A = this chain, B = another copy of it.
Amino acid sequence: MKGNIVVGQSGGPTAVINSSVAGVYAAAKKLGVKKVYGMVHGIQGFLADKLCDLDEYLDNETGVELLKRTPSAFLGSCRFKMPKIEGHEDVYEKVFEIMEKHDIECLFYTGGNDSMDTVKMLSDYAAAHNKPQRFMGVPKTIDNDLPITDHCPGYGSAAKYIATSMKEVIRDNSSFGVEKPTVLIVEIMGRNAGWLTAAAALAKDVDCEGADAIYLPERTFDVDAFMAKVKDLAARKSSVVIAVSEGIKVADGRYVCELANANVAVDAFGHKQMSGMAAYLAQAVAAETGLKTRAIEFSTLQRAATHLASLTDINEAFQVGHDAVLAAEDGKTGMMITLDRNGDDPYQCGTSAYDIHASANVERAVPDEWITEDGCGLNEGYEKYARPLIMGELQPLFVNGTPRHLVRK
């Protein structure tokens, strides 16, 4: 590559989104790229010509290692969606104008479905207008709902956080229990796909009984059946722990949290802001059974707890960034790097470049065949798929008792 490159981060952060930036940087430097720019707050900041020079942070002994250990979007993220090309050519021209200004040959964009759309549209515009610039997508999302790729960087670390935290709260919840059981409802992220909630199943091991029931948005939620299940469990066990997705819906299509709250906020993409599901269910169980209940939301720590990131995930996030640069060097554009599993035992995974145009912006759900017949558990199919993704740790650099992060000035 003769020119410079730029990398940007978009959408909700993950624990390892910065490893992908590190991978882009490392590969570019190996190829002798002169300047690796970062977009400050994604394509939105880029349109305002807000760039930083990654050498400033990474061209030293510890920068890359600290970046890998830094949660959230180091460069700043955005939720800006590129408009349709037709009628908004000025916005597209602006992108190319800024790329030309900084001699940027290739743009790398980490994100989920919406960000891959941005890559697709920019490469379409370049093709239609004979522009030489190239655009590559680097997948990331804790939700693991991107099609084509075996899994998404970001998912493994979120799953490791969820599995570990589930083990810890299951232990905590079982500390009492000589008398009446305590029912703990844990709310896990994931709007339409149950991948994150499914990770609660990974808490089960020889030292942990696991969650007693796991409710995914892939199945219609039946409040009565749920209540019967809780009563049955409480009759047999001194500690009952249930994982529910924030996205579970009842038969008429309403989210369970909408049963409680008439007002549900909506974000820039028209997605409803979920929350309060576990609290609602815990109150309902307490009212119905008289049992002590507690609700926990794992909240944004699911995507921010880099101190507990999966090493497999960190390495794969790095790899997809790295390989996106190699693909661009090969002249590719309008593609995203996918993770391709080559084996489960031992786990092996490679990458390839996939034409974004060949895949629709669809959310991939947890496969039916991995959900147990009663609809509230995962079977060994999921275990085989997900366990390798949470393996390994990268010890944070603790300074003054907390993990040190790399932060933009």
Which of chain B's residues has its CB closest to A42's CB? B178
Q: Which of A60-98 contact B (CB under 8 A)?
A: 70-73, 76-79
A297 interfacial contact with B, CB 8 Å: yes
Closest Cβ–Cβ distance, residue A270 to chain B (whole Å): 15
A310 interfacial contact with B, CB 8 Å: yes
**CB distance B207 to A72 under 8 Å?**
no
Known: A76-B177, A176-B78, A178-B44. A205 touches B402 (CB 8 A): yes
A380 interfacial contact with B, CB 8 Å: no
A114 interfacial contact with B, CB 8 Å: no
Stretch at the interface among A116-124, A133-141, A165-173: A165-173
A23 interfacial contact with B, CB 8 Å: no
CA distance A263 to B339 in the complex (A): 50
- Give the total of A residues in contact with B, Cβ under 8 Å: 69
- A402 contacts which of B44, B167, B402, B404 (Cβ < 8 Å)? B167
- A301 contacts which of B163, B169, B390 (Cβ < 8 Å)? B169
Q: Which of A372-409 contact B (CB under 8 A)?
A: 387, 390-393, 395, 398-407
Question: A361: which B residues are within 8 A, CB to CB?
Answer: none
Q: Which of A24-56 contact B (CB under 8 A)?
A: 41, 44-45
Known: A296-B297, A300-B169. A160 touches B406 (CB 8 A): no
CA distance A399 to B279 in the complex (A): 32
A13 interfacial contact with B, CB 8 Å: yes
**CB distance A387 to B400 under 8 Å?**
yes
A99 interfacial contact with B, CB 8 Å: no
A322 interfacial contact with B, CB 8 Å: no
Closest Cβ–Cβ distance, residue A253 to chain B (whole Å): 25
**CB distance B405 to A72 under 8 Å?**
no
**CB distance B300 to A299 under 8 Å?**
no
A306 interfacial contact with B, CB 8 Å: yes
Known: A168-B301, A296-B297, A304-B169. A13 touches B208 (CB 8 A): no
Contact with B along A307-323 (1 / 0, CB 8 A): 11010000000000000
A351 interfacial contact with B, CB 8 Å: no
Interface centre among A202, A207, A276 (most CB of B within 10 A): A207
**CB distance B401 to A77 under 8 Å?**
no
Known: A296-B299, A296-B300, A300-B296. A391 touches B401 (CB 8 A): yes
Question: A203: which B residues are within 8 A, CB to CB?
Answer: 402
Q: List 6 A-B contacts (CB under 8 A).
A: A160-B401, A164-B307, A167-B402, A171-B405, A207-B405, A207-B407
